A and B are shown apart, each in its own frame.
Chain A
Amino acid sequence: MDFLVILSTMISALFINNFVVSQFLGICPFLGVSKDTKSAFGMGVAVTFVMTLTCLITYPIYTYILVPLGLEFLEIIVFIFIIAAIVQMIEMALKKFSPTLYNAMGIYLPLITTNCAVLGVAELVIDHEQMAGLIGLANASQMNMGYAVLYGLFAGLGFTLAIVIMSGLREKVARLPINKHLKGFPIAMIAACFIAMAFFVFALI
């Protein structure tokens, strides 16, 4: 693994191709759980955790089972199944071994099961051509599992970054005297729009 590629993977996943504000995946938790910073951060950590594990498991299953058998078209059903099962198992394991962590992110875990950002990252990392373009690899065949997991981790961190910024903004906005008709959700949508525009600058440079 090349150091420069690792760096560009980080920057790409965190800022340029941020899952929420550039790829528009995972919008529901982004708007739904961003009312206060604490729960937003909990959600972000849970998503990061699940995304990394998803990449770690779905990538080898796709590459070493589905591709040799010629069953690439089964990817979505297999991925959904695997993600749901992983999340279920993680939840049970957390409940047993770390009640503190379970209390902190336990309620967000079941919400992530059907999150499009998680399925999105699993679908994205198996597409070697597109991934090579995204993270700056010269050749699509250089793509491997290390990059996939790294991309999953930083995509999750990018999600955390976006949702924490959003919740901070919403906390500030909630204290301002705002026109009655814009109060609550409408102003949150406008705030989300400004965050997306701010992140668009990364795509231009």
Chain B
Amino acid sequence: MENLFLQPVDLTKLLYVLLLVAVITVVFALLIVLVSKVCAVKVDEKEEAVKENLAGANCGGCGYAGCADFAKALAEGKAELSACGPTPNENKAKIAEILGVEFVAGEEKFAVVACSGGINAKNKYDYVGNEGCSAQIAFIGGQKFCEDGCLGGGSCMTACPYNAIHVKDGVAYTDRSMCEACGVCVKKCPKGLVHLIPKSAHVYIACSSHCKGKTVMDMCKKGCIGCGLCAKNCPHGAITMVDNVAVIDYSKCNGCLTCVAKCPRKCIKEI
């Protein structure tokens, strides 16, 4: 093998190397500058500024392909700022300033699953097959007797970009600390069981069944039977019974937890 270190320095070759690299560098640099001048595309400054203030999570909760797409729609006035969950309020205020619109601070929210059935709810049949709620629902409306029950197929879990939903005992649960209120799961759930509620909320109703009490009793151990005890006992009148299921008005609730204690089915849950 040749000794690389003891060879005489070939100055002409070294010169060639330097020249060649320099020429290629300069030529391509000039070419790139030329191309970028010729192909300059006008970038909307407003759009860029909006994009910088968005959360940048690209979760798709707003219904656009990502934050860049949403920023474009915002700049063109096609989208509402409130469609975005993850962006914090102070950034939203900045964006509103850039866009020149009035900013109304929306309440920070998070998602809850309004069902506590799962293994407590009776099955019509044992489902074996493709994962995901939409596949299961094609089979006579899913395996649960309850029409408004969580199927436990985990469609919301796989859709959640923040890993904030888990299926436990056949029913989906949300993790309050991880949830960014993007709303992807709300759109994904075929039964419409996931709701966004204010972050300041103290309780939520973990059932969506509109059936009569007797029917719910037969189908599920945890479902709301529409007895109305919570509505009668709430000291602030925050709970009303709508179509056999309790509904909370969060603007009136102050978190006394009377309803949690009174509910005979334990389907009002403390957060």
Binding site for B on A (CB under 8 A): 65-66, 69-71, 74, 77-78, 81-82, 85, 88-89, 92-93, 95-97, 175-177
In the bound complex, how far is the Cα of B18 from the Cα of A77, in angstroms?
12
Pair B32/A65 contact, Cβ less than 8 Å = no
Q: Pick the contact of A96 from B28, B32, B39, B130 — CB < 8 Å? A: B39
Given contacts A71-B20, A93-B35, A96-B38, contact A85 B28 (CB under 8 A): yes
Pair A95/B39 contact, Cβ less than 8 Å = yes
Please list the 6 inter-chain residue pairs (A to B) with the smallest Cβ-Cβ separation, ordered nearest first: A96-B39, A85-B28, A92-B39, A89-B35, A175-B130, A92-B35
Contact mask B5-17 → A, CB, 8 Å, 1/0?
A: 0000000010011
Contacts of B17 in A (CB 8 A): 71, 74
In the bound complex, how far is the Cα of B25 from the Cα of A93, in angstroms?
20
In the bound complex, how far is the Cα of B131 from the Cα of A163, in angstroms?
25
Contacts of A69 in B (CB 8 A): 16, 20
Contacts of B38 in A (CB 8 A): 96
Pair B31/A85 contact, Cβ less than 8 Å = yes
The smallest C-beta distance from B143 to any residue of chain A, in angstroms, reads 15
Q: How large is the interface on B (under 10, 10 to 19, 20 to 34, 35 or more residues)?
A: 20 to 34
> Interface on chain A toward B: helix, strand, loop, or mixed SS?
helix
Contacts of A70 in B (CB 8 A): 13, 16
Pair A93/B16 contact, Cβ less than 8 Å = no
Q: Is B1 positioned at the interface, with any CB of A under 8 Å from its CB?
A: no
Pair B28/A81 contact, Cβ less than 8 Å = yes
Contacts of A74 in B (CB 8 A): 17, 20-21
> Which residue on B lies nearest to A89, using beta carbons?
B35
Q: Is B36 positioned at the interface, with any CB of A under 8 Å from its CB?
A: yes
The smallest C-beta distance from B36 to any residue of chain A, in angstroms, reads 6
Q: Is B41 positioned at the interface, with any CB of A under 8 Å from its CB?
A: yes
Pair A81/B24 contact, Cβ less than 8 Å = yes
The smallest C-beta distance from A56 to any residue of chain B, in angstroms, reads 15
